[in-house]
């Protein structure tokens, strides 16, 4: 119970950083999705059911507070992608670090493609323009943060044991 409360508070802190310090973590108009990054890394440390619940709740709060035009898309994608990653890590325990790293990056890229494609559906941009102008910059920034936080979490967990 104490671990769940601490995990919830940690995710709340990440959400507050994402919302209130958004202009400070933005680089050339590109913002990372810190909640998605944290959810994907937490697959190794948090109960799968609780993590899927957190993905939905914090995705919904993030959509609501950041005034996203499509409320519900972010929690749907976050919940789905956390579920996919949890199933891969559970099924292939021997390769969990390699899987988490490679599939996590793939899921981050897929998240931005789906999210931006649906968000910009009526704008008249082609899929290649959406990928090049929106998805790639967001993926590169979020991917670098994912790699950095992933190795930080592994280092912390290794030294804690």
Q: Summarize pLDDT for 124-150 with one digit per residue, the tens.
A: 888 899 999 999 999 999 999 999 998
Mean pLDDT for 61-88 is 87
Q: Which pLDDT score is estimated for 109?
A: 95
Judged against a pLDDT cut of 90, whether residue 91 lies above it is answered with no
Mean pLDDT for 11-27 is 87
Count of C-beta atoms within a 10 Å radius of residue 135:
21
The 10s digit of each residue's pLDDT in 39-72 is 998 888 888 899 999 999 988 988 888 777 788 8
Which residues lie below 8 Å from residue 104, measured CB to CB, with a gap of 6+?
A: 40, 41, 85, 146, 150
What are the C-alpha distances in Å from 7 to residues 13, 17, 43, 58, 153?
Answer: 10, 15, 12, 12, 14
Contact by Cβ (8 Å): 103, 85: yes
Judged against a pLDDT cut of 70, whether residue 151 lies above it is answered with yes
Contact by Cβ (8 Å): 85, 42: no
Q: Which pLDDT score is estimated for 161?
A: 60
Tell me the pLDDT band of 110, cut-offs 50, 70 and 90: very high
Judged against a pLDDT cut of 70, whether residue 116 lies above it is answered with yes
Q: Which pLDDT score is estimated for 148?
A: 93
Give exposure, 110-121, as e/b (b: 16+ Cβ within 10 Å): bbbbbbbeebbe
For residue 141 the two structure tokens come to 């920034």
* Angle of CA points 35, 6, 16, to nearest 5°: 40
> Could you tell me the maximum CA-CA distance found in the chain, to the nearest angstrom?
53
Q: Which pLDDT score is estimated for 53?
A: 92
Give exposure, 53-66, as e/b (b: 16+ Cβ within 10 Å): bbbbbbbbbbbeee
Q: Which pLDDT score is estimated for 65?
A: 84
The 10s digit of each residue's pLDDT in 42-51 is 888 888 899 9
């Amino acid at each position: 119970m104490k671990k769940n409360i601490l995990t919830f508070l940690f995710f709340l802190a990440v959400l507050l950083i994402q919302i209130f310090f958004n202009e400070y973590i933005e680089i050339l108009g590109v913002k990372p999705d810190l909640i998605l990054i944290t959810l994907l890394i937490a697959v190794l440390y948090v109960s799968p059911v609780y993590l899927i619940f957190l993905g939905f709740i914090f995705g919904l709060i993030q959509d609501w507070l950041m005034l996203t035009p499509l409320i519900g898309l972010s929690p749907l994608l976050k919940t789905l992608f956390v579920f996919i990653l949890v199933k891969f890590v559970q099924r292939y325990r021997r390769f969990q670090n390699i899987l988490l790293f490679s599939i996590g990056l793939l899921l981050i890229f897929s998240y931005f493609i789906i999210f931006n494609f649906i968000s910009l559906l009526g704008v008249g941009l082609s899929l290649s323009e959406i990928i090049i102008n929106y998805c790639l910059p967001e993926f590169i920034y979020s991917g670098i943060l994912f790699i950095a936080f992933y190795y930080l979490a592994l280092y912390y967990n290794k030294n804690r044991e």
